[in-house]
Chain A
Amino acid sequence: GKMGEGRAYSWDGVFNHLEMLEAQAHEAGRKQEEKKQQEEKLASLKERVEELRIQRDKLQAKVDLQKKRLSGKEGIMSDAAEASAGAVLEWKIRSIKGMLQLFYLTGISGKLTKQGVCFSISTAYEGTYLDSYYLDLLTKPAVRIHRHSVPVFIPLEQIAKRYLQTDIRRFLSVLSDHLNAYAGRRYQADQLQEHFSDQLEGSLQRNSLCNLLVFNYKVPSGDKTFPFSARLIYRDICCSLPTEVMVSSTVKAPEHLEETAAAHSELFRHMALHKAFCTFSNTEE
């Protein structure tokens, strides 16, 4: 302090001391102030760093997104898009399964093999599914049958000779007609034996292709029954209905039964055998 200069007191030492203390306090205050300022500055800088970091992350994310978008459309998508891709695949699988099921239901289906194609032909008669038959075809050097499960009395060789090389579709269609007709005829004969054995007399005579059926059956008239004999010939082996039917009574029967025989004959010509027998029993009741 300047106050000490006007007087020559012995107060010099005291004032010096006070000066010194003041200076120290001042210094300390200044330092305190400095420290405080530094801390504040540090805090604000830290805040700034945080802000900048957040901003940096945001920008980085944007850059990554841009990169991915540019690198390819088939790439990874966000979660929402992934879920829909899975759904699309599921739908595709379901529709292919459905199509295979559909083909199976239409009767002819095929599967590529190492050496060619394997076809399966399913047979059915009026809503009932019957056996399936298979053909393993080789395609090189020419189309030919490697192995098959077609019954030996179906004229497979003849059908193959005519159509296999030129028109596979026609070949399969013709073979399918043969197999379906055979399956239908056999089914009718089996049904007749199974469900109407009480009306049959003796055994049902048939052959491998089931294209000739001969049997005797009882026709009730009044309280008597008359034996009838039936002979069904299926000349068209692609057809499950007979081309010729001969029904007659085996003993001398009253007049009206001749009409019955003719009626039965017509019925057998146009209706499935077991269904025809069904109508007999119905009309009786």
Chain B
Amino acid sequence: MDETVAEYIRRTVLKIPRDEIKSMLQKWGFLSEAQLQTINFHQIKDNVSQEVVHLCEENSANIKQAAVLDIIYNHIYANKRMWSVYQMQKTGEEPEIFDLQAFKKKFKRRLLSALENVTINFREYEDNAIWIRVAWGTPYTKPNQYKPSYVVYHSQTPYVFISASVLKSNLPLLCQALLVASNYHDIREMELRSHSLTSLKDIVFKRYSQNFQTHCPRAIQDRSGEPEYVDVRIIQENRSEKERIQRVTREIFGDGPQPQLEFARYKLETMFKSDPKMEVLDKKEPFRCLVKFSSPHLLESLKSLAPAGMADAPLSPLLTCITQKARNNFKIKEKSSFPESCVSP
């Protein structure tokens, strides 16, 4: 077995938390159950990884097989990477009979025809997600396994989730291969980025909880679950205002959990509106300003602003349109400060 492969496997195992090494190796399926029994998973990780490498040598692992372990790790720890969303366009109207084998073939063929030194791996998951791992080389060097790009694609959707490697120059090649394989003709990056891949999927696939007005009796039942502890000694002075805020918040954010985003960025290119007497910035240039909201869970914190009394309800549409418009990066120009006038780069 190649030394580079051995080193790669060793380093990949070291990344995995000790309690999960065994289950991930089982998922990988490259080592037999009998071989796994011989490993002592309770020793320090350095030793565990050495044992794994020895066993892989016995089975003569190659780099493609080693890469599968990397995909498994990244699938479980997808939130360690930053994901961007890309949208594809197509002209044709016929519904596609998406054939996975054809997709994989076309993708590989396109990529390999442009660049020989790449390692390409595919792995399909139950939710129709296709994970693609690409390690990039150059015409003269072998692929760098430590900086692969990850692509997650759900068939028959126009969205692709990419966690690019630092080597941005390979991105056009990757996009081209995706277009060819999926039968689309154009791809562009959306202004939507997060560490939570699931949340990005929820936003573009419209799986997040939206509040729709219906006559459906089920909806009413779902809401009546919480018991209200009423202490009669406490008098709510502004009960009606509180209820209004709850109602407005529910209308905007829905009842369920929000997708997890870490930031929302607003690049302002608007004129500074000051008192003319103050004579500040009498140049007629837009005042450039960048506002960034950061949070471990931005949308949940926005949802709780009004009920906590820290902001008026309803919140500014600039904040509440994030999931609806599927973007967390805005550029606001003059005319009106509403997202309708936003122009993405």
> A residues near B, CB below 8 A?
100-101, 103-104, 109, 111, 113, 118, 120, 132, 134, 136, 147-153, 155, 158, 205-209, 211-212, 233, 235, 237
The one of A103, A150, A153, A211 in contact with B97, judged by C-beta atoms closer than 8 angstroms, is A211
The one of B99, B154, B213, B214 in contact with A208, judged by C-beta atoms closer than 8 angstroms, is B154
The one of A118, A212, A237 in contact with B214, judged by C-beta atoms closer than 8 angstroms, is A118
Contact across chains for B214 and A152 when beta carbons are under 8 A apart: no
Residues in A with CB closer than 8 Å to B213 are 111, 113, 118, 136
Q: Which 3 A/B pairs are nearest by Cβ-Cβ distance?
A: A134-B212, A207-B155, A153-B156
- Report the separation of the CA atoms of residues A153 and B97 in the bound assembly, to the nearest whole angstrom: 12
Give A100's nearest chain B residue, CB to CB.
Answer: B215
The one of A158, A205, A208, A211 in contact with B157, judged by C-beta atoms closer than 8 angstroms, is A208
- Report the separation of the CA atoms of residues A74 and B19 in the bound assembly, to the nearest whole angstrom: 78
Contact across chains for B215 and A212 when beta carbons are under 8 A apart: no
Residues in B with CB closer than 8 Å to A207 are 98, 100, 128, 155-156
Contact across chains for B210 and A149 when beta carbons are under 8 A apart: yes
- Report the separation of the CA atoms of residues A103 and B217 in the bound assembly, to the nearest whole angstrom: 12
A138 to nearest B CB, angstroms?
13
Encoded as 1 (CB less than 8 Å from any A CB) or 0, chain B from 62 to 76 comes to: 000000000000000
The one of B95, B99, B217 in contact with A237, judged by C-beta atoms closer than 8 angstroms, is B95
Contact across chains for A209 and B156 when beta carbons are under 8 A apart: yes
Residues in A with CB closer than 8 Å to B95 are 155, 209, 211, 235, 237
Contact across chains for B217 and A104 when beta carbons are under 8 A apart: yes
- Report the separation of the CA atoms of residues A118 and B210 in the bound assembly, to the nearest whole angstrom: 12
Encoded as 1 (CB less than 8 Å from any A CB) or 0, chain B from 204 to 220 comes to: 11110010111111000
B159 within 8 A of A: yes
Give B128's nearest chain A residue, CB to CB.
Answer: A208
Encoded as 1 (CB less than 8 Å from any A CB) or 0, chain B from 187 to 212 comes to: 00000000000000000111100101
A104-B217, A147-B210, A149-B212 given; 13 more Cβ-contact pairs under 8 Å: A104-B215, A111-B214, A134-B210, A134-B214, A149-B207, A152-B159, A152-B206, A153-B156, A207-B100, A208-B98, A209-B95, A209-B155, A211-B98
Contact across chains for A151 and B214 when beta carbons are under 8 A apart: no
Residues in A with CB closer than 8 Å to B205 are 151-152
- Report the separation of the CA atoms of residues A212 and B154 in the bound assembly, to the nearest whole angstrom: 14
Residues in B with CB closer than 8 Å to A109 are 214-216
B158 within 8 A of A: yes
Give B205's nearest chain A residue, CB to CB.
Answer: A152
Residues in B with CB closer than 8 Å to A233 are 97
Residues in A with CB closer than 8 Å to B212 are 118, 120, 134, 136, 149
The one of A208, A235, A237 in contact with B155, judged by C-beta atoms closer than 8 angstroms, is A208
